[in-house]
Structures are given as C-alpha cells and as structure tokens.
C-alpha cells in the first residue's frame, strides 16, 4: 500500500488518469490547465455536487469504486433531470496525506466506469490535501436547440406523477443497515437482480448486501432523462433528498398538490420490510419509501397516457383545495417534514 504523501502530485496523477477514457468530442483531456471539449450544443447544462467522508459515506462501509460511482450518479442525474444529456465531468479530490493511493485509484476507476456507461468523458480536475476525504464533481451537459429544459414548475392538475425506478427506498434501507453497524460486513458484492420469469421484468434485489450496495452506489436509469423524457415530461427532478421533500419542490414551484397512491407505494414498503425486521431498533419501511434520499431516480409529471417506458405511475397532480397549500399528500395527510436536509 502506497500512501499519497509518498507520491508527488504528478506521480499520483500518473496512476489515476490512464483509466479515464475520452470520447471523440474531447479535443484536449487531462494534463493541461483546462480541458477542451467540442460542444454537442451551444446550450450548456451545468451542475456540481460534493461527497464528504463522514457525511456522505463511511470508508469502512463502502468500497472505493462505489464512492466514485455515487459521485458520478448524483451529478449525471441532475443533468438528466433537465432533459439534457451529460457530456463531460471534471473532478476535484481532497484527501489526507496518509490516504492510500489505491483508494483514490479505486474512486477514479468507479467514477470513470459509471460515466463511460453514459458516454460521458472525465476530462480533468484537481488534487489537494485536506483533513478529510471529499470528492467534488462538476458535470456539463448539452441541451439541443429548440428543446426546452424540463423544469420543476411545469406540473399541472390532471397530470400523472411517475417515478423512473421499480422500487424506492433502497438507499435509505441500506443507510439504516450501515448506521446499525452492518455496513462493513455487507459491503461486498452488489448481487444480481432476480427475474420474475414471466415478462422479462427484473425484480430489484433487496437482500441486505444489495441494499447497502445501493446506498453506497445508487444505480438508477438516469438515461431516461434525455432519451424518454424530452417532449413528454412536464416537470422533473431527481430524488436526492426523498420522495416527499423533492416532490414538494415540484409541488411548490408549480402551485399544485402531488397526491401519492398508497396502493402502489405499499408494494415498495412491503419489499423493504424484511430489511426493517433485521434492525434492533424499530424501523418503518414507509419512512424509507417516503423520506429516503440518495436514490437519484427521476421523478416527473406527464400528461395522462404519455408515461414512457421505464417510469411507473405513483400518483396524480391536482389543484389545491380551498385553504390547502401546495405540497405532497398521502391519504389526505401532508408530508411536510420527511426527507434529508443538510442543515436540518
């Protein structure tokens, strides 16, 4: 094991950058003061996000590759939620001097692999010393001329609320297992999805190991944002802070109420119930379904009859009743305080 304090910055970069595959749109990749990328469109979509050790991941309960994949997904999903296609990312990594170089190599490998799946190039970044490990990714995407960005304020009464994931709450369930001290033992293989054997639809893996893996490296179908949603989605975002909290952002921006379908979401809670039963402290899987963050699945509204493949209907959009505020409701109850808040 080689600690990064025993390598120069150039030496560390020599170990990390060879695995960063470049697309044909990259004119100049890592190695200079900045990258040069041929734009797919003159209209750029830009976002940035950070993962910090101790707040967003625990090294003892994850794998380096998973940290990289998570850093990629949370940024690519933000671009996809605008209906845009991500094109390139830059990455800034700060780490203690005693950090093993192999750890940073694994993070780089995981990030590059997840980006490559979407045809996204990792074109550069920065390395620095710090008291704790953090990874900041900035993603740039392209929005075609004539295509409007999918904003949060486009939801209207009588539209359908849909989720681009077959199951929500997996990340929160995995986090609960991590916080219960099970993460280190369970941070093994992700496992494989089961198959129902009928129509080819694959059932999500909800074994404890798979739930921890999903929390450490969520893997939603984010390409739906730029393949299935343009021209169809009326409002959209990715579920980063919980279904209720993020749905509330759409509701308030649009001045509507999102009325969730209990019968649909009950199946999600039931699927996660065995994981809740493993915990010493009582846990309600409904809290994971409604308030669990870091899923990064796309949540969108569509006109009736326009839900694309890859999405499932989980509720309706309606106008607020007299005296009712815009928000998210389940069985008539307002879901106001569920979800993650960095400063809450």
Give the residue numbers of the binding site for ATP. Answer: 125-126, 152, 240
Buried b (16+ CB within 10 A) or exposed e, 231-268: ebbbbbbbbbbbbbbbbbbbbebbebbbbbeeeebeeb
CA distance 45 to 28: 20
CA distance 6 to 9: 10
Binding residues for Mg(2+), by number, are 33, 47-49, 78, 126, 238, 241
Binding residues for substrate, by number, are 56, 294, 340
Binding residues, by number, are 33, 47-49, 56, 78, 125-126, 152, 238, 240-241, 294, 340
- And the tokens for 19? 């695995």
């Amino acid at each position: 094991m080689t600690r990064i304090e025993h390598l120069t910055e150039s030496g560390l970069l020599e170990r990390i950058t060879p695995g960063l595959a470049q697309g044909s749109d990259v004119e100049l990749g890592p190695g200079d003061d900045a990258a040069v990328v041929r734009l797919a469109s003159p209209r750029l979509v830009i976002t940035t996000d950070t993962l910090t050790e101790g707040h967003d991941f625990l090294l003892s309960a994850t794998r380096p590759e998973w940290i990289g994949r998570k850093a990629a997904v949370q940024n690519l999903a933000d671009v996809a939620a605008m209906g845009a296609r991500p094109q390139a990312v830059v990455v800034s990594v700060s780490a203690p001097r005693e950090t093993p170089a192999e750890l940073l190599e694994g993070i780089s490998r995981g990030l590059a692999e997840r980006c490559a799946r979407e045809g996204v190039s990792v074109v550069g970044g920065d390395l620095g010393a710090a008291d704790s490990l953090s990874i900041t990714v900035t993603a740039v995407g392209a929005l075609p001329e004539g295509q409007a960005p999918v904003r949060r304020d486009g939801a209207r009464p009588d539209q359908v609320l849909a989720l681009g994931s077959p199951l929500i709450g997996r990340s929160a369930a995995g986090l609960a297992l991590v916080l219960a001290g099970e993460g280190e033992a369970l941070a093994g293989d992700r496992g494989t999805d089961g198959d129902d054997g009928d129509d080819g639809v694959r059932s999500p893996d909800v074994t404890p190991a798979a739930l921890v893996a999903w929390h450490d490296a969520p893997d939603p179908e984010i390409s739906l944002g730029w393949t299935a949603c343009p021209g169809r989605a009326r409002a959209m975002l990715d579920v980063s802070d919980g279904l209720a909290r993020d749905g509330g952002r759409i509701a308030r921006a649009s001045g509507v109420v999102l009325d969730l379908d209990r019968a649909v979401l009950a199946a999600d809670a039931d699927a996660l119930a065995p994981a809740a039963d493993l915990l010493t402290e009582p846990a309600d899987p409904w809290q994971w379904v409604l308030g669990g963050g870091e899923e990064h699945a796309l949540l969108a509204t569509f006109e009736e009859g326009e839900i694309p493949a890859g999405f499932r209907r989980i509720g309706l959009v309606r106008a607020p009743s007299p005296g009712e505020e815009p928000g998210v409701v389940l069985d008539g109850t307002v879901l106001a305080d569920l979800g993650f808040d960095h400063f809450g």
